[in-house]
Structure 1
Amino acid sequence: RRMDQILSTSHVPSSWSNSDHVVTPQGSVNGVKGHTGQSNGDGGQTSNTPEAGQKARIATATFGEIVALLSFSPVHKHMSLADLEWLVIPALATNQVTTVRGKLKDQNGLTIPLGLALWAHVSDEVDKKLEAQQQANIPFHLAPHEWKSGEIPWLLAVLAPKEVAQALVKKLEDSVFKDKFYKRFALTEETKKPMADSSQVQPTLS
Protein backbone atom coordinates (compact mmCIF):
# COMPACT_ATOMS: atom_id res chain seq x y z
CA ARG A 1 0.00 0.00 0.00
CA ARG A 2 1.17 3.52 -0.70
CA MET A 3 1.99 5.70 2.30
CA ASP A 4 -0.76 8.20 1.44
CA GLN A 5 -3.37 5.42 1.46
CA ILE A 6 -2.13 4.11 4.80
CA LEU A 7 -2.18 7.55 6.41
CA SER A 8 -5.57 8.47 4.97
CA THR A 9 -7.17 5.28 6.31
CA SER A 10 -5.53 5.34 9.73
CA HIS A 11 -7.73 5.65 12.80
CA VAL A 12 -7.59 9.42 13.25
CA PRO A 13 -10.91 10.93 14.36
CA SER A 14 -11.90 14.49 13.63
CA SER A 15 -11.49 15.58 17.24
CA TRP A 16 -7.81 14.64 17.29
CA SER A 17 -6.22 18.05 17.09
CA ASN A 18 -3.05 19.89 17.99
CA SER A 19 -3.81 21.53 21.32
CA ASP A 20 -1.65 23.86 23.36
CA HIS A 21 -0.37 21.00 25.43
CA VAL A 22 -0.91 17.52 24.10
CA VAL A 23 -1.86 15.47 21.08
CA THR A 24 -3.89 12.40 22.03
CA PRO A 25 -5.80 10.36 19.46
CA GLN A 26 -9.18 8.96 20.38
CA GLY A 27 -9.07 5.20 20.29
CA SER A 28 -5.79 5.19 22.20
CA VAL A 29 -5.07 7.28 25.28
CA ASN A 30 -8.59 8.64 25.60
CA GLY A 31 -10.06 5.18 25.17
CA VAL A 32 -12.61 6.17 22.51
CA LYS A 33 -12.68 4.19 19.31
CA GLY A 34 -11.76 5.99 16.12
CA HIS A 35 -13.04 5.17 12.66
CA THR A 36 -11.86 4.79 9.11
CA GLY A 37 -13.29 6.00 5.86
CA GLN A 38 -15.16 3.77 3.44
CA SER A 39 -13.14 1.84 0.91
CA ASN A 40 -13.84 2.23 -2.80
CA GLY A 41 -13.02 -1.43 -3.37
CA ASP A 42 -9.41 -1.07 -4.52
CA GLY A 43 -7.95 -0.11 -1.16
CA GLY A 44 -8.30 3.63 -1.72
CA GLN A 45 -10.35 6.22 0.13
CA THR A 46 -13.63 7.35 -1.34
CA SER A 47 -14.28 10.30 0.93
CA ASN A 48 -13.03 13.71 -0.16
CA THR A 49 -14.82 15.57 2.62
CA PRO A 50 -13.12 18.32 4.65
CA GLU A 51 -13.18 15.95 7.63
CA ALA A 52 -11.24 13.30 5.70
CA GLY A 53 -8.74 15.91 4.55
CA GLN A 54 -8.27 17.11 8.12
CA LYS A 55 -7.62 13.56 9.30
CA ALA A 56 -5.03 13.03 6.60
CA ARG A 57 -3.26 16.30 7.48
CA ILE A 58 -3.19 15.43 11.18
CA ALA A 59 -1.90 11.92 10.49
CA THR A 60 0.82 13.31 8.24
CA ALA A 61 1.85 15.91 10.84
CA THR A 62 1.90 13.28 13.57
CA PHE A 63 3.99 11.00 11.38
CA GLY A 64 6.57 13.79 11.16
CA GLU A 65 6.51 14.36 14.92
CA ILE A 66 7.05 10.67 15.58
CA VAL A 67 10.03 10.54 13.22
CA ALA A 68 11.51 13.63 14.89
CA LEU A 69 11.13 12.11 18.36
CA LEU A 70 12.66 8.81 17.23
CA SER A 71 15.71 10.74 16.04
CA PHE A 72 16.49 11.62 19.67
CA SER A 73 16.37 7.98 20.76
CA PRO A 74 19.76 6.23 20.98
CA VAL A 75 18.00 2.99 20.05
CA HIS A 76 16.09 4.28 17.03
CA LYS A 77 18.03 7.21 15.59
CA HIS A 78 20.17 5.03 13.32
CA MET A 79 17.20 3.33 11.68
CA SER A 80 16.63 3.72 7.95
CA LEU A 81 13.59 5.11 6.17
CA ALA A 82 12.59 1.54 5.34
CA ASP A 83 12.18 0.87 9.06
CA LEU A 84 9.36 3.41 9.25
CA GLU A 85 7.20 0.99 7.26
CA TRP A 86 7.10 -1.50 10.13
CA LEU A 87 7.69 0.83 13.09
CA VAL A 88 5.63 3.99 12.53
CA ILE A 89 3.02 3.39 9.84
CA PRO A 90 1.45 0.28 11.46
CA ALA A 91 1.24 2.09 14.81
CA LEU A 92 -0.64 4.96 13.16
CA ALA A 93 -2.83 2.65 11.10
CA THR A 94 -3.89 0.63 14.16
CA ASN A 95 -4.20 3.68 16.43
CA GLN A 96 -1.58 2.40 18.86
CA VAL A 97 0.57 5.49 19.28
CA THR A 98 0.28 8.79 21.07
CA THR A 99 2.51 11.84 21.18
CA VAL A 100 2.82 14.43 23.94
CA ARG A 101 3.51 18.12 23.42
CA GLY A 102 4.75 20.71 25.91
CA LYS A 103 4.30 24.46 26.03
CA LEU A 104 7.50 26.50 26.17
CA LYS A 105 7.59 29.16 28.87
CA ASP A 106 7.63 32.76 27.69
CA GLN A 107 7.25 31.76 24.04
CA ASN A 108 3.68 32.94 23.35
CA GLY A 109 2.19 29.47 23.66
CA LEU A 110 4.70 27.76 21.36
CA THR A 111 4.61 23.99 21.82
CA ILE A 112 7.08 21.26 20.95
CA PRO A 113 6.81 17.45 20.80
CA LEU A 114 8.18 15.97 24.02
CA GLY A 115 7.57 12.25 23.79
CA LEU A 116 5.63 9.32 22.44
CA ALA A 117 4.38 5.88 23.37
CA LEU A 118 3.96 2.87 21.09
CA TRP A 119 2.00 -0.26 21.96
CA ALA A 120 0.59 -3.36 20.29
CA HIS A 121 -1.91 -6.16 20.83
CA VAL A 122 -0.37 -9.38 19.63
CA SER A 123 -0.99 -13.10 19.14
CA ASP A 124 0.59 -15.88 21.20
CA GLU A 125 3.17 -16.43 18.47
CA VAL A 126 4.15 -12.76 18.31
CA ASP A 127 4.17 -12.60 22.10
CA LYS A 128 6.85 -15.29 22.15
CA LYS A 129 8.78 -13.41 19.47
CA LEU A 130 8.81 -10.23 21.58
CA GLU A 131 9.82 -12.18 24.68
CA ALA A 132 12.77 -13.65 22.77
CA GLN A 133 13.85 -10.26 21.44
CA GLN A 134 13.72 -8.75 24.91
CA GLN A 135 15.67 -11.63 26.43
CA ALA A 136 18.31 -11.20 23.71
CA ASN A 137 18.50 -7.50 24.61
CA ILE A 138 17.79 -6.35 21.07
CA PRO A 139 15.28 -3.69 19.93
CA PHE A 140 11.82 -5.00 19.19
CA HIS A 141 10.89 -5.66 15.57
CA LEU A 142 7.37 -6.45 14.38
CA ALA A 143 6.04 -7.06 10.91
CA PRO A 144 3.25 -4.60 9.99
CA HIS A 145 0.53 -7.26 10.32
CA GLU A 146 1.74 -8.25 13.79
CA TRP A 147 0.90 -4.96 15.53
CA LYS A 148 -2.73 -5.96 15.99
CA SER A 149 -2.55 -9.72 15.62
CA GLY A 150 -4.16 -10.71 18.92
CA GLU A 151 -5.24 -9.67 22.41
CA ILE A 152 -1.96 -9.70 24.38
CA PRO A 153 -1.05 -6.07 25.16
CA TRP A 154 2.55 -4.87 24.98
CA LEU A 155 3.86 -1.41 25.78
CA LEU A 156 6.69 -1.36 23.25
CA ALA A 157 8.30 2.03 23.74
CA VAL A 158 7.98 5.18 25.81
CA LEU A 159 10.31 7.88 24.55
CA ALA A 160 10.13 10.97 26.74
CA PRO A 161 11.88 12.86 29.54
CA LYS A 162 11.47 10.90 32.77
CA GLU A 163 8.77 13.06 34.35
CA VAL A 164 6.71 13.09 31.16
CA ALA A 165 7.17 9.36 30.62
CA GLN A 166 5.84 8.54 34.07
CA ALA A 167 2.70 10.60 33.52
CA LEU A 168 2.21 9.12 30.07
CA VAL A 169 2.47 5.54 31.33
CA LYS A 170 -0.03 6.32 34.10
CA LYS A 171 -2.43 7.73 31.51
CA LEU A 172 -2.13 4.59 29.39
CA GLU A 173 -2.72 2.39 32.44
CA ASP A 174 -5.92 4.30 33.11
CA SER A 175 -7.18 3.98 29.53
CA VAL A 176 -5.65 1.61 26.97
CA PHE A 177 -4.43 -0.88 29.56
CA LYS A 178 -7.17 -0.37 32.14
CA ASP A 179 -7.99 -3.63 33.94
CA LYS A 180 -5.43 -5.44 31.79
CA PHE A 181 -2.14 -7.13 32.56
CA TYR A 182 0.25 -5.74 29.96
CA LYS A 183 3.86 -6.53 29.16
CA ARG A 184 6.54 -3.90 28.90
CA PHE A 185 9.39 -4.08 26.40
CA ALA A 186 12.52 -2.99 28.25
CA LEU A 187 12.61 0.20 30.31
CA THR A 188 11.27 3.64 29.64
CA GLU A 189 13.87 5.54 27.67
CA GLU A 190 14.61 9.15 28.48
CA THR A 191 15.28 11.10 25.31
CA LYS A 192 17.48 14.10 24.98
CA LYS A 193 15.57 17.34 25.41
CA PRO A 194 15.27 18.45 21.78
CA MET A 195 14.57 22.16 22.29
CA ALA A 196 14.45 22.91 25.99
CA ASP A 197 15.10 21.35 29.35
CA SER A 198 12.20 20.40 31.56
CA SER A 199 12.41 23.63 33.53
CA GLN A 200 11.43 25.53 30.40
CA VAL A 201 8.55 23.29 29.36
CA GLN A 202 5.08 22.85 30.79
CA PRO A 203 3.80 19.45 29.57
CA THR A 204 0.17 18.55 30.18
CA LEU A 205 -1.61 15.25 29.60
CA SER A 206 -5.33 15.50 28.99
Structure 2
Amino acid sequence: MDLEMSKNLGGIGALLLVISGIGMFGTVYVGLLGLIGIILVLIAMKGLSDYYKEGGIFNNALYGFIVTIVGGLTCVGVMVVTIIMAISTLGITDWTDWAMGIQQNAMDWNAMWSLIGPIIWAAIAALVVLFIFAIIAVIFYRKSLSLLSKKSGVNMFETTGLLLLIGAILTIILVGFILIWIAGILLTVAFFSIRPQAAQQPATAPPPPPPQ
Protein backbone atom coordinates (compact mmCIF):
# COMPACT_ATOMS: atom_id res chain seq x y z
CA MET A 1 0.00 0.00 0.00
CA ASP A 2 1.47 3.37 -1.03
CA LEU A 3 1.56 6.54 1.05
CA GLU A 4 -1.27 8.26 -0.81
CA MET A 5 -3.72 5.41 -0.26
CA SER A 6 -2.70 5.02 3.40
CA LYS A 7 -3.23 8.67 4.24
CA ASN A 8 -6.54 8.81 2.37
CA LEU A 9 -7.85 5.70 4.15
CA GLY A 10 -6.73 7.15 7.48
CA GLY A 11 -8.37 10.50 6.76
CA ILE A 12 -11.64 8.91 5.66
CA GLY A 13 -11.63 6.54 8.64
CA ALA A 14 -11.00 9.39 11.10
CA LEU A 15 -13.77 11.43 9.46
CA LEU A 16 -16.20 8.53 9.88
CA LEU A 17 -15.28 8.41 13.58
CA VAL A 18 -16.03 12.13 13.88
CA ILE A 19 -19.41 11.67 12.19
CA SER A 20 -20.26 8.68 14.37
CA GLY A 21 -19.30 10.74 17.42
CA ILE A 22 -21.97 13.30 16.54
CA GLY A 23 -24.66 10.64 16.52
CA MET A 24 -23.21 8.36 19.23
CA PHE A 25 -26.63 8.00 20.81
CA GLY A 26 -28.36 7.30 17.51
CA THR A 27 -29.12 4.15 15.58
CA VAL A 28 -27.07 1.02 15.15
CA TYR A 29 -25.95 2.35 11.77
CA VAL A 30 -23.97 5.05 13.54
CA GLY A 31 -22.10 2.39 15.50
CA LEU A 32 -21.42 0.53 12.27
CA LEU A 33 -20.06 3.74 10.77
CA GLY A 34 -17.68 4.10 13.71
CA LEU A 35 -16.54 0.48 13.39
CA ILE A 36 -15.77 0.98 9.69
CA GLY A 37 -13.85 4.13 10.61
CA ILE A 38 -11.72 2.29 13.17
CA ILE A 39 -10.93 -0.48 10.68
CA LEU A 40 -9.90 2.04 8.01
CA VAL A 41 -7.64 3.86 10.48
CA LEU A 42 -5.98 0.58 11.48
CA ILE A 43 -5.41 -0.33 7.82
CA ALA A 44 -3.92 3.12 7.27
CA MET A 45 -1.65 2.71 10.29
CA LYS A 46 -0.41 -0.58 8.89
CA GLY A 47 0.36 1.04 5.55
CA LEU A 48 2.13 3.99 7.16
CA SER A 49 4.02 1.64 9.47
CA ASP A 50 5.35 -0.21 6.43
CA TYR A 51 6.09 3.01 4.53
CA TYR A 52 8.11 4.56 7.36
CA LYS A 53 9.55 1.18 8.41
CA GLU A 54 8.43 1.73 12.01
CA GLY A 55 6.48 -1.22 13.39
CA GLY A 56 5.48 0.67 16.53
CA ILE A 57 3.07 2.86 14.56
CA PHE A 58 0.78 -0.07 13.78
CA ASN A 59 1.55 -2.28 16.78
CA ASN A 60 0.65 0.35 19.38
CA ALA A 61 -2.54 1.26 17.50
CA LEU A 62 -3.49 -2.43 17.37
CA TYR A 63 -2.75 -2.91 21.08
CA GLY A 64 -4.92 0.10 21.87
CA PHE A 65 -7.77 -1.30 19.78
CA ILE A 66 -7.54 -4.70 21.49
CA VAL A 67 -7.55 -3.08 24.94
CA THR A 68 -10.61 -1.03 23.91
CA ILE A 69 -12.52 -4.18 22.89
CA VAL A 70 -11.48 -6.09 26.01
CA GLY A 71 -12.42 -3.11 28.18
CA GLY A 72 -15.87 -2.86 26.65
CA LEU A 73 -16.56 -6.57 27.11
CA THR A 74 -15.20 -6.50 30.67
CA CYS A 75 -17.39 -3.50 31.49
CA VAL A 76 -20.52 -5.34 30.33
CA GLY A 77 -19.43 -8.50 32.14
CA VAL A 78 -18.83 -6.70 35.45
CA MET A 79 -22.22 -5.02 35.29
CA VAL A 80 -24.11 -8.23 34.45
CA VAL A 81 -22.35 -10.30 37.12
CA THR A 82 -22.84 -7.61 39.79
CA ILE A 83 -26.55 -7.31 39.04
CA ILE A 84 -27.06 -11.09 39.05
CA MET A 85 -25.24 -11.45 42.38
CA ALA A 86 -27.24 -8.60 43.91
CA ILE A 87 -30.56 -10.00 42.72
CA SER A 88 -29.62 -13.43 44.03
CA THR A 89 -28.76 -11.93 47.42
CA LEU A 90 -32.17 -10.23 47.59
CA GLY A 91 -33.86 -13.53 46.81
CA ILE A 92 -35.54 -12.22 43.65
CA THR A 93 -36.13 -15.08 41.22
CA ASP A 94 -38.23 -13.27 38.64
CA TRP A 95 -37.96 -9.84 36.99
CA THR A 96 -41.70 -9.46 37.62
CA ASP A 97 -41.03 -9.69 41.36
CA TRP A 98 -38.42 -6.95 41.03
CA ALA A 99 -40.77 -4.67 39.09
CA MET A 100 -43.62 -5.25 41.52
CA GLY A 101 -41.27 -4.55 44.43
CA ILE A 102 -40.42 -1.15 42.97
CA GLN A 103 -44.10 -0.27 42.52
CA GLN A 104 -45.04 -1.38 46.03
CA ASN A 105 -42.14 0.47 47.66
CA ALA A 106 -42.24 3.61 45.53
CA MET A 107 -42.52 5.83 48.61
CA ASP A 108 -40.30 3.75 50.89
CA TRP A 109 -36.81 5.00 50.04
CA ASN A 110 -34.99 2.36 52.09
CA ALA A 111 -36.86 -0.47 50.42
CA MET A 112 -36.48 1.24 47.04
CA TRP A 113 -32.72 1.52 47.51
CA SER A 114 -32.47 -2.19 48.32
CA LEU A 115 -34.01 -2.87 44.92
CA ILE A 116 -32.32 -0.32 42.65
CA GLY A 117 -29.11 0.19 44.67
CA PRO A 118 -27.42 -2.94 43.27
CA ILE A 119 -27.99 -1.72 39.72
CA ILE A 120 -26.49 1.67 40.54
CA TRP A 121 -23.43 0.08 42.15
CA ALA A 122 -23.10 -2.26 39.18
CA ALA A 123 -23.14 0.70 36.80
CA ILE A 124 -20.50 2.53 38.86
CA ALA A 125 -18.25 -0.55 38.99
CA ALA A 126 -18.61 -1.07 35.24
CA LEU A 127 -17.78 2.57 34.50
CA VAL A 128 -14.67 2.43 36.71
CA VAL A 129 -13.47 -0.66 34.84
CA LEU A 130 -14.20 1.00 31.50
CA PHE A 131 -12.34 4.16 32.57
CA ILE A 132 -9.20 2.19 33.50
CA PHE A 133 -9.19 0.30 30.22
CA ALA A 134 -9.81 3.53 28.29
CA ILE A 135 -6.74 5.19 29.83
CA ILE A 136 -4.57 2.17 28.99
CA ALA A 137 -5.89 2.09 25.42
CA VAL A 138 -5.28 5.81 24.90
CA ILE A 139 -1.69 5.46 26.13
CA PHE A 140 -1.09 2.98 23.30
CA TYR A 141 -2.85 5.25 20.79
CA ARG A 142 -0.70 8.17 21.87
CA LYS A 143 2.50 6.15 21.45
CA SER A 144 1.41 5.23 17.94
CA LEU A 145 0.58 8.83 17.03
CA SER A 146 3.83 10.14 18.54
CA LEU A 147 5.86 7.76 16.38
CA LEU A 148 3.83 8.72 13.31
CA SER A 149 4.38 12.40 14.09
CA LYS A 150 8.15 11.92 14.24
CA LYS A 151 8.30 9.89 11.05
CA SER A 152 5.91 12.01 8.98
CA GLY A 153 6.88 15.41 10.33
CA VAL A 154 3.20 16.24 10.96
CA ASN A 155 3.12 17.62 14.50
CA MET A 156 -0.68 17.48 14.59
CA PHE A 157 -0.46 13.73 15.25
CA GLU A 158 1.41 14.48 18.49
CA THR A 159 -1.21 17.08 19.43
CA THR A 160 -3.99 14.58 18.69
CA GLY A 161 -2.42 11.98 20.96
CA LEU A 162 -2.09 14.46 23.82
CA LEU A 163 -5.68 15.65 23.39
CA LEU A 164 -6.90 12.04 23.40
CA LEU A 165 -5.12 11.39 26.70
CA ILE A 166 -6.48 14.55 28.33
CA GLY A 167 -9.94 13.77 26.98
CA ALA A 168 -9.86 10.21 28.32
CA ILE A 169 -8.92 11.47 31.78
CA LEU A 170 -11.63 14.14 31.74
CA THR A 171 -14.40 11.78 30.69
CA ILE A 172 -15.18 11.66 34.41
CA ILE A 173 -16.67 15.16 34.08
CA LEU A 174 -18.05 14.48 30.58
CA VAL A 175 -16.11 17.35 28.96
CA GLY A 176 -13.56 14.73 27.98
CA PHE A 177 -15.93 13.36 25.34
CA ILE A 178 -15.86 16.73 23.58
CA LEU A 179 -12.05 16.75 23.63
CA ILE A 180 -11.95 13.23 22.20
CA TRP A 181 -14.30 14.31 19.41
CA ILE A 182 -12.09 17.33 18.66
CA ALA A 183 -9.09 14.98 18.61
CA GLY A 184 -10.90 13.03 15.88
CA ILE A 185 -11.13 16.20 13.78
CA LEU A 186 -7.41 16.90 14.28
CA LEU A 187 -6.62 13.30 13.34
CA THR A 188 -8.55 13.71 10.09
CA VAL A 189 -6.62 16.87 9.21
CA ALA A 190 -3.32 15.26 10.23
CA PHE A 191 -3.80 12.29 7.92
CA PHE A 192 -4.55 14.51 4.93
CA SER A 193 -1.52 16.69 5.82
CA ILE A 194 0.99 13.87 5.28
CA ARG A 195 3.39 14.56 2.42
CA PRO A 196 5.87 12.20 0.73
CA GLN A 197 9.36 12.23 2.14
CA ALA A 198 11.78 14.29 0.08
CA ALA A 199 14.14 12.09 -1.86
CA GLN A 200 17.66 12.32 -0.52
CA GLN A 201 20.18 13.69 -3.01
CA PRO A 202 23.29 11.54 -3.48
CA ALA A 203 26.34 13.01 -1.84
CA THR A 204 28.77 14.54 -4.34
CA ALA A 205 32.50 14.36 -3.87
CA PRO A 206 34.28 17.71 -3.45
CA PRO A 207 36.14 18.95 -6.53
CA PRO A 208 39.81 17.97 -6.72
CA PRO A 209 42.32 20.61 -5.63
CA PRO A 210 43.85 22.65 -8.45
CA PRO A 211 47.22 21.39 -9.71
CA GLN A 212 50.24 22.99 -8.11
The TM-score normalised by the length of structure 1 is 0.29
The structure with the greater share of residues assigned to strand is: 1
Return the index of the structure with the highest Cα Rg.
2
